[in-house]
């Protein structure tokens, strides 16, 4: 009797314990991606577009800027804890398995996937008009193109992967050579332009303050200027590409850049018009990426600026600092560690004008190029205009001077130019350290090679 | 294998039983105290907020303590280590790394007895890197500049031993233990208490702990026994700053690597050699990093004897228990610390509150059947477990001096991280003892489901079986020979959240944005499965004077939970999935001997040997990858690849050049060589000699082979090879630098060692002296001097070859980045039993 009772108790409690609690636990710390499986709504479009633009903001990070500006002889990052900022930029080749050689790569593809997530979900969106969907598509495609262009800035002749909108189970997208990548990015910017043109009068979401702080770029029609600016930039380097240069590119660049610039600015403030990344120290927000006490300027930057150049205000003279075999006495206010909210341009009018000058030089329109150079030189630099240079090389010297000081610490533009003009060598530049090989690109990261099961990638150009 | 992650006070130990058993899932063995599963989690305090060693407010480089260190060793009666799946299968998907079963002390009926121990001791720096003294201003000029030579001269050409100054001068440490036990025939009790403070070697770092234990047992009538175990622990530790740092330079090792010895850092001056002026001495005085933990571990264990006869017995057990702790971490780094303004936000406070609960219910029955041939015991039951935690970290930056509340920070960062796992299992086991109690046959199975699996309703089966036989016909001098074989399966649960692909949320200009995670979760994730065979024998000779136990094992882990790298061009970084397998085979030998056993002279010696040979047998078609946490193959990175050991390390090691047949140079490619980071074998030698009232005990630990990536040396070595460098042995420093510049693996160093872990000498006072000095109740009084880690013999040039920058790691333990140096200690203790 006792045994039977106990067995009953035991059996009942076993059953009770088993049935009582639900077996599942949801993800307590995150929003699940399954939230999007029902298709895009207006609210989730805003969420994803802000995520994409935030990702684009994140791409303009300290690694992208510091690595490229160090290779371009603008920066020394002197960090006692990390010599690779020197040894792997101007001291020898970058290690493709380390943070430097393997860096400034994956982030751009994360942005592209954020964009592709929107593009893939748009066809089933509800609550968006056809025009709004088109505008959304145009903006997304423009940012995807910018991300791929930035990838190419740092990898250049090594090529990049373009056709990446595939499920994770599929084999990785093939690398394409630089001319093909530029052609593809250019075509994508054109599709985006057409979509923006069909995009009605406003976007179905709000954009961050940096789209209206210096000029207006927050409607499909005005956002088109950003698209055209990058179109011009891409076409210029398509034309300057030594491998398979594209004949029509310089004209296309001048047309696109003129559309982006609009009427030539007449004030210094007008030169600063553009789309900006804005930063904040609020919780969850992103801070200005290169507010960094360890960043010094390559002495060439401080030594070469002309007397009376208003852009000298960007340069500070500091106590001499020597580390890892290099010495500097200059810093820039652009890397002031105390300023965590300085806006940073994605592209601004002075860059567009100088890009147009570069295209005009290649068209042998040195007078037109000089007019553009002088526009920046007088408004940004407060300097007297220069006469039309006698040679193309002299005109290139002039445009590179203006670009260095107007666009300091903003992007990889100087690395791209030195490379495009074959000036990244001992003829034009000082050998910084004994191991300096005038490195012109970062390598394809080891991780990318390993995951593809290859030891090198050399895309061919058809 | 037990390894200490750093020398910081309060612990931080990794226990690996039978090799690397997982790449990504939990690495710790399961700890079970009195039938209750307890937490061995490690909570990162937020040191990263000032070191920026990695990303985030907290980071795995925070040099965390794993919390099993909270226990009071004096309360432990017995520790049983179930190394393999064959023994631990009953714990299902928690047992793949082995199970450590701890039984706490109980009361005994009879005369009340007690024991009190008082210990005093001192921790000292066990090993130095050795810093360079500059002999003359000319030497400084040659290495650096005339300006530096002038600074050298202005400092009187001093050579400050920064290591000695920073890692010494701490006060004495002490520990008081007391315990009492006793009881009547129905009621027994054990009460224990501990209070200790370790003043550790690094300036202003310490560990203190108080604990109270009360274990009470009561028999009701003749059928019911109820036992309650309660342990309450408080620990408070400040481990200071150590380990990796990036921005700014604040880790002491990094500061010393950046500052020549003529600078008097100890005076607290602004460091002229670092842009921010960071000075480790000032940091140690101003920056506080206390971790305050309150922990309760308790259980109620009831047994009901339902039926008893000479042939049969039926018992029921009900165990309910809880392990709850609250972790209160705080980092207070005031704005007047020289380095603080460097990030534009002077002053940092991190408040880290973590609540952790692990609760268990076990309901089981056991039926025993006794016949002339066999005794058969059938057990069955259910186990329900729930583990949860909630960690809320607030960081305030840019704050006024003198405040300690996080809300004063102008810039606030909040993060909350939760965790909840529900486990449920049925189990049944049959044990048969027969053939005159010579044959023991055990078989059991555990069916378990857990909420972290992709399919949280599916039950996974973990069977086990074991057979042992005591041989009846023994050779001469042999007392006993037992042969045993065992087989079993156990699992390792997917880490929490692996089944989800998330949509991380961010903020841009006060608008929420979302971008798909770069980690692709797996909705079908399931536990890793270990299948283990082991066999061996235990033998006793010469009337118990000698013994051998010998075990061979083979462990296969399948369905490895991998975080597979995917091509970054996909926009993902990793994909979580079950794929691949690994195999560990090994030998464990224990030899014990009592070479001398006379009336007042007794020598007991024990030697252990263990080796594990691990091999990744498959990666399920995935490419090989550098896994875990690491810096670069320049120094040494964990390498996961089919056919290689799971503890393999890859390092750049020169170039392979190709030439034409005519001998002209064609191309060169970087050569990467694979090394083994884990030791070939471990041996332990313990000896205890008793001569009358004197007892001498020694414990030596020998680890043969293995590698450590010494990034600390890379910090100190010059980048360009002239006369630079701050290590005393500048020639060796330059040689390393030369080698790494031509891509040699010069920072991957041999890490084998022999350590004198313990040596102690005890003297038991004669009874008549004891009773005269103390009271007549005193049974015995023992005086002991013990030293720990007094000596290490190793070719390793860093502080300690056991180091792990990323704390507990399945793979990639072997990285040394300016760690907290190891200490040696000498303690004097007095124990009185009464």
SS3 sequence of chain A: CHHHHHHHHHHHHHHHHHHHCCCCCCCCCCCEHHHHCCCCCHHHHHHHHHHHHHHHHHHCCHHHHHHHHHHCCCEEECECCECHHHHCCCCCCCCCCCCCCCCCCHHHHHHHHHHHHHHHHHHHCCCCCHHHHHHHHHHHHHHHHHHHHHHHHHHHHHCEECCCCCCCCCCCCCEECHHHHHHHHHHHHHHHHHHHHCCCCCCCCCCCHHHCCECCCCCHHHHHHHHHHHHHHHHHHHHHCCCCCCCCHHHHHHHHHHHHHCCCCCCHHHHCCEEEECCCCCCCCCCCCCCCCCEEECHHHHHHCCCCCHHHHHEEEEEEEEECCEEEEEEEHHHCCCCCCCCEEEEEHHHHHHHHHHHHHHCCCHHHHHHHHHHHHHHCCCCCCCCCCCCHHHHHHHHHHHHHHHCCCCCCHHHHHHHHCCCCCCCCCCCCCCCCCCCCCCCCCHHHHHHHCCCCCCCCCC
H or E segment and range at residue B772: helix B767-773
What phi and psi values does residue B56 have, to the nearest 5 degrees? 100, 170
- Stated length of chain B: 834
Query: Both ends of chain A: CA-CA distance in Å?
Result: 90
B255 vs A323, B31, B240, CA distance in Å? 15, 39, 14
Task: Report yes or no on whether pTM surpasses 0.90.
Answer: no
pLDDT of residue B723: 66
Read off the pLDDT of each residue in A242-254 and give the average, rounded to a whole number: 94
Pairwise CB contact (< 8 Å): A114 & B249? no
B420 in Cβ contact with B388 (< 8 Å): yes
pLDDT of residue B169: 84
Pairwise CB contact (< 8 Å): B503 & A30? yes
Q: Nearest by CB to A14, from B382, B420, B506: name it.
A: B382
- Both tokens assigned to B664: 């002209």
* Nearest C-alpha neighbor of B627 from the set B706, B560, B711: B560
Hey, which residues 40-79 in chain A have their CB within 8 Å of chain B? 46-55, 57, 78-79
Classify domain A210-276+346-411 by CATH number: 1.25.40
pLDDT of residue B699: 96
B310 vs A5, A462, B369, B375, CA distance in Å? 22, 91, 9, 12
Q: Which residues, 6+ apart, have CB-to-CB distance to B793 below 8 Å? A: B753, B754, B755
User: In the block, which residue shows the tokens 């840019």?
Assistant: B398
pLDDT of residue B95: 87
* Nearest C-alpha neighbor of B348 from the set B408, B275, B285, B269: B408
B68: helix, strand or coil: helix
Pairwise CB contact (< 8 Å): B575 & A168? yes
Read off the pLDDT of each residue in A109-120 and give the average, rounded to a whole number: 95
* DSSP structure class, residue B135: -
Decide if pLDDT at A34 tops 70.
no
Residues of B in contact with A208 (CB under 8 A): 508-509, 511
Alpha-carbon distance A29 to B391, whole Å? Answer: 11
* Nearest C-alpha neighbor of B683 from the set B744, B753, B788, B614: B753
User: In the block, which residue shows the tokens 């555990």?
Assistant: B446
Alpha-carbon distance B367 to B347, whole Å? Answer: 65
Sequence ranges of the domains in chain B: 2-496+527-558+581-618+628-833
Alpha-carbon distance A295 to A77, whole Å? Answer: 4
Most confident of A13-27, A388-402, B81-95, B368-382: A388-402
What phi and psi values does residue B610 have, to the nearest 5 degrees? -145, 135
Q: Nearest by CB to B507, from A36, A160, A285: name it.
A: A285
Cis upstream peptide for B248 (omega within 30°): yes
What fold, for B2-496+527-558+581-618+628-833?
Maltoporin; Chain A (2.40.170)
Read off the pLDDT of each residue in A29-56 and give the average, rounded to a whole number: 85
Pairwise CB contact (< 8 Å): B505 & A31? yes
Alpha-carbon distance A211 to A216, whole Å? Answer: 6
Pairwise CB contact (< 8 Å): B502 & A31? yes
Rounded to a whole number of angstroms, the distance from the CA of A460 to the nearest CA of chain B is 18
Pairwise CB contact (< 8 Å): A113 & B570? yes
Rounded to a whole number of angstroms, the distance from the CA of A221 to the nearest CA of chain B is 22
Pairing of strands B519-520, B574-578: parallel
User: In the block, which residue shows the tokens 């001056």?
Assistant: B269
Residue A425 near chain B (CB below 8 Å): no
User: A317 — alpha (psi -120 to 50), left (phi > 0) or beta?
Assistant: beta
A110 in Cβ contact with A125 (< 8 Å): no
- Both tokens assigned to A44: 């989730």
Rounded to a whole number of angstroms, the distance from the CA of B161 to the nearest CA of chain A is 20
Alpha-carbon distance B219 to B135, whole Å? Answer: 77
Residue A285 near chain B (CB below 8 Å): yes
Chain A residue with Cα closest to B346: A338
**Interface mutation vs chain A, best among B367, B514, B517, B573, most A CBs within 10 Å:** B514
* Nearest C-alpha neighbor of A173 from the set A164, A165, A182: A164
Alpha-carbon distance B46 to B414, whole Å? Answer: 12
Q: Nearest by CB to A24, from B258, B451, B516: name it.
A: B451
Alpha-carbon distance B576 to B526, whole Å? Answer: 11
Alpha-carbon distance B634 to B815, whole Å? Answer: 12
Pairwise CB contact (< 8 Å): B449 & A117? no
pLDDT of residue A319: 94
Alpha-carbon distance A49 to A53, whole Å? Answer: 6
Chain B residue with Cα closest to A445: B568
Sequence ranges of the domains in chain A: 210-276+346-411
pLDDT of residue B662: 83
ipTM of the complex: 0.90
- Stated length of chain A: 462
For chain B of 834 residues, list the mean pLDDT of each consecutive stretch of 10. Answer: 83 84 88 90 89 85 84 87 73 88 90 93 94 92 90 94 93 95 92 94 94 94 92 94 88 93 95 92 95 95 92 94 96 95 92 95 93 91 94 94 93 91 93 90 94 94 94 90 94 92 90 91 93 94 93 95 90 92 96 92 96 94 85 90 93 81 77 91 96 95 94 84 78 84 83 95 88 76 94 94 86 90 94 90
H or E segment and range at residue B138: helix B137-143
Q: Which residues, 6+ apart, have CB-to-CB distance to A401 below 8 Å? A: A304, A306
**Interface mutation vs chain B, best among A451, A454, A455, A457, most B CBs within 10 Å:** A451
B528 in Cβ contact with B560 (< 8 Å): yes
B482 in Cβ contact with B435 (< 8 Å): no
User: In the block, which residue shows the tokens 């042939």?
Assistant: B311
- Both tokens assigned to B300: 């109620």
For residue B610, the number of C-alpha atoms closer than 13 Å in the C-beta half-sphere is 17
Alpha-carbon distance B65 to B14, whole Å? Answer: 10
Q: Nearest by CB to A27, from B502, B505, B633: name it.
A: B502
**According to the 3-state scheme, what is the secondary structure of B715-745?**
HHCCCCCCCCCCECCHHHHHHHHHHHHCCCC
User: In the block, which residue shows the tokens 């993902």?
Assistant: B572
- Both tokens assigned to B46: 């937020």
Alpha-carbon distance B165 to B158, whole Å? Answer: 14
Pairwise CB contact (< 8 Å): B566 & A291? no
Alpha-carbon distance A423 to B331, whole Å? Answer: 50
Read off the pLDDT of each residue in A47-76 and give the average, rounded to a whole number: 96
Provide the β-strand partners of residue B413: B395
Lowest-confidence segment of A120-129, A144-153, A406-415, B5-14 by average pLDDT: B5-14
Question: Please, what is the average pLDDT of chain A?
Answer: 92
Residues of B in contact with A48 (CB under 8 A): 513-515
B268 in Cβ contact with B285 (< 8 Å): yes
User: A92 — alpha (psi -120 to 50), left (phi > 0) or beta?
Assistant: left
Alpha-carbon distance B417 to B439, whole Å? Answer: 51
- Both tokens assigned to B333: 């780094």
Chain A residue with Cα closest to B274: A80
Residue A163 near chain B (CB below 8 Å): no
H or E segment and range at residue B304: strand B290-308
Pairwise CB contact (< 8 Å): B416 & A117? no
Alpha-carbon distance B471 to B111, whole Å? Answer: 41
Read off the pLDDT of each residue in A112-122 and give the average, rounded to a whole number: 94
């Amino acid at each position: 009797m006792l045994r039977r009772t106990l067995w009953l108790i035991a059996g009942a409690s076993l059953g009770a314990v088993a049935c009582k609690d639900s077996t599942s636990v949801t993800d307590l710390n995150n929003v699940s991606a399954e939230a999007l499986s029902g298709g895009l709504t207006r609210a989730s479009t805003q969420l994803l577009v802000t995520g994409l633009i935030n990702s684009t903001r994140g791409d303009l990070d300290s690694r992208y800027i510091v690595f490229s500006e160090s290779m371009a002889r603008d920066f020394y990052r002197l960090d006692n804890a990390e010599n690779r900022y020197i040894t792997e930029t101007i001291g020898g080749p970058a290690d493709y398995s380390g943070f430097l050689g393997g860096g400034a790569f994956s982030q751009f593809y994360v942005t592209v996937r954020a964009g592709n997530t929107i593009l893939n979900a748009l066809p089933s969106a509800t609550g968006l008009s056809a025009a709004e969907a088109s505008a959304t598509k145009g903006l997304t495609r423009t940012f995807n193109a910018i991300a791929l262009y930035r990838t190419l800035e740092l990898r250049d002749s090594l090529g990049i992967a373009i056709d990446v909108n595939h499920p994770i189970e599929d084999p990785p997208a093939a690398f394409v050579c630089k001319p093909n990548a530029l052609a593809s990015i250019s075509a994508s910017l054109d599709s985006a332009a057409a979509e923006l043109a069909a995009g009605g009068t406003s976007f179905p979401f709000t954009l961050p303050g940096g789209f209206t702080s210096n000029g207006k770029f927050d409607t499909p029609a005005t956002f088109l200027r950003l698209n055209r600016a990058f179109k011009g930039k891409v076409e210029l380097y398509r034309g300057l590409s030594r491998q398979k240069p594209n004949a029509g590119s310089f004209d296309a660049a001048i047309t696109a850049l003129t559309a982006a610039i609009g009427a030539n600015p007449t004030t210094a403030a007008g030169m600063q018009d553009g789309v900006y990344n804005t930063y904040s120290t609020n919780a969850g927000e992103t801070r200005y990426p290169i507010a960094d006490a360890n960043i010094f300027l390559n002495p060439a930057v401080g030594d070469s600026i002309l007397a009376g150049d208003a852009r000298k205000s960007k340069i500070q003279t500091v106590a001499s600092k020597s580390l890892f075999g290099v010495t500097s006495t200059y810093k820039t206010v652009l890397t002031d560690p105390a300023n965590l909210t300085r806006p940073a341009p994605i592209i601004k009018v002075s860059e567009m004008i100088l890009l147009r000058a570069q295209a005009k030089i290649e068209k042998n329109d040195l007078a037109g190029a000089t007019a553009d150079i002088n526009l920046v030189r007088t408004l940004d630099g407060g300097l007297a205009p220069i006469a039309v240079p006698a040679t193309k090389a002299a005109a290139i010297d002039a445009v590179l001077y203006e670009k260095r000081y107007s666009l300091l610490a903003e992007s990889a533009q100087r690395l791209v130019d030195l490379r495009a003009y074959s000036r990244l060598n001992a003829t034009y530049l000082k050998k910084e350290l004994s191991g300096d090989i005038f490195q012109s690109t970062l390598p394809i990261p080891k991780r990318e090679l390993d995951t593809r099961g290859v030891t090198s990638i050399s895309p061919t150009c058809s | 294998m037990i390894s200490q992650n750093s020398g910081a006070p309060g612990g931080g130990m990794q226990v690996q039983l039978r090799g690397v058993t997982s790449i990504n899932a939990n690495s710790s063995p399961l700890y079970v105290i009195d039938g209750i599963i307890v937490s061995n989690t490690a909570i990162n305090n937020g040191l990263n907020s000032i070191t920026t060693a990695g990303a985030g407010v907290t980071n795995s480089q925070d040099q965390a303590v794993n919390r099993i260190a909270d226990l009071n060793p004096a309360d432990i009666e017995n520790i049983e280590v179930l190394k393999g799946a064959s023994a631990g299968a009953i714990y299902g998907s928690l047992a793949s790394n082995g199970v450590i079963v701890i039984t706490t002390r109980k009361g005994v009926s009879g005369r009340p007895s007690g024991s009190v121990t008082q210990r005093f001791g001192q921790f000292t720096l066990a090993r130095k890197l050795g810093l360079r003294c500059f002999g003359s201003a000319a030497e400084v000029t040659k290495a650096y500049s005339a300006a530096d030579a002038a600074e050298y001269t202005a400092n009187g050409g001093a050579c400050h031993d920064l290591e000695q100054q920073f890692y010494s001068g701490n006060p004495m440490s002490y520990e008081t233990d007391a315990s009492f036990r006793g009881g009547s025939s129905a009621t027994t009790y054990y009460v224990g208490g501990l209070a200790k403070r370790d003043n550790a070697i690094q300036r202003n770092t310490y560990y203190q702990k108080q604990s109270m234990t009360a274990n009470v047992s009561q028999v009701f009538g003749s059928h019911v026994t109820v036992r309650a175990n309660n342990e309450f622990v408080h620990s408070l530790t400040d481990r200071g700053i150590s380990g990796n740092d990036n921005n700014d330079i604040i880790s002491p090792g990094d500061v010393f690597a950046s500052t020549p010895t003529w600078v008097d850092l100890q005076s607290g001056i602004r460091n002229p050699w670092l842009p921010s002026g960071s000075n480790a001495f000032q940091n140690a005085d101003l920056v506080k990093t206390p971790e305050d933990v309150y922990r309760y571990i308790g259980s109620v264990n009831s047994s009901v004897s339902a039926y008893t006869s000479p042939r049969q017995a039926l018992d029921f057990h009900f165990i309910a228990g809880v392990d709850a702790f609250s972790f209160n971490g705080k980092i207070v780094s005031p704005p007047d610390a020289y380095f603080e303004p460097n990030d534009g936000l002077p002053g940092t406070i991190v408040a880290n509150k973590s609540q952790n609960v692990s609760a268990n219910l076990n309901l089981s029955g056991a039926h025993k059947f006794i016949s002339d041939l066999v005794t058969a015991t059938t057990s069955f039951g259910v186990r329900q477990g729930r583990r949860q935690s909630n960690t809320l970290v607030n960081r305030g930056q840019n704050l006024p001096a003198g405040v300690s509340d996080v809300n004063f920070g102008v810039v606030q960062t909040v993060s909350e991280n939760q965790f909840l796992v529900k486990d449920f299992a049925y189990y049944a086991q049959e044990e048969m003892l027969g053939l005159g109690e010579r044959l023991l046959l055990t078989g059991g199975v555990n069916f378990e489901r857990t909420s972290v699996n992709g399919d949280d309703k599916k039950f996974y089966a973990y069977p086990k079986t074991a057979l042992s036989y005591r041989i009846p016909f023994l050779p001469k001098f042999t007392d006993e020979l037992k042969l045993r074989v065992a087989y079993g399966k156990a699992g390792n649960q997917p880490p929490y959240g692996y089944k989800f692909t998330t949509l991380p949320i961010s903020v841009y200009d006060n608008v929420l944005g979302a971008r798909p995670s770069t980690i692709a979760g797996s909705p079908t994730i399931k536990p890793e499965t270990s299948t283990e065979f082991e066999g061996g024998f235990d033998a006793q000779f010469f009337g118990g004077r000698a013994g051998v136990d010998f075990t061979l094992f083979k462990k296969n882990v399948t369905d490895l939970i991998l975080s597979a790298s995917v091509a970054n061009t996909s926009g993902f970084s990793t994909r979580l999935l079950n794929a691949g397998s690994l195999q560990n085979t090994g030998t464990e030998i224990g030899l014990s001997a009592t070479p001398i056993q006379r009336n007042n002279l007794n020598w007991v010696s024990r030697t252990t040997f263990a080796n594990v040979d691990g091999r990744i047998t498959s990666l399920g078609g995935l490419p090989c990858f550098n896994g875990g946490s690491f810096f670069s193959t320049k120094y040494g990175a964990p390498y996961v690849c089919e056919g290689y050991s799971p503890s393999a390390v890859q390092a750049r090691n020169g170039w392979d050049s190709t030439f034409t047949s005519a001998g002209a140079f064609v191309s060169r490619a970087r050569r990467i060589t694979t090394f083994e980071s884990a030791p070939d074998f471990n041996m332990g030698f313990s000896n205890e000699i008793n001569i009358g009232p004197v007892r001498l005990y020694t414990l030596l630990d020998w680890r043969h082979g293995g590698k450590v990536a010494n990034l600390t040396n890379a910090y100190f070595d010059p980048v360009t090879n002239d006369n630079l460098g701050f290590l005393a042995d500048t020639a060796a420093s330059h040689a390393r630098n030369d080698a790494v510049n031509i891509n040699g693996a010069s920072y991957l160093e041999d890490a084998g060692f022999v350590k004198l872990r313990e040596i102690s000498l005890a003297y038991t006072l004669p009874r008549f002296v004891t009773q005269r000095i103390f009271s007549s109740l005193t049974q015995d009084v023992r005086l002991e001097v013990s030293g720990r880690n007094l000596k290490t013999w190793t070719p390793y040039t860093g502080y300690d070859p056991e180091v792990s920058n990323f704390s507990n790691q399945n793979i990639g333990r072997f990285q040394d980045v300016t760690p907290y140096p190891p200490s040696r200690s000498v303690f004097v203790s007095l124990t009185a039993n009464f």
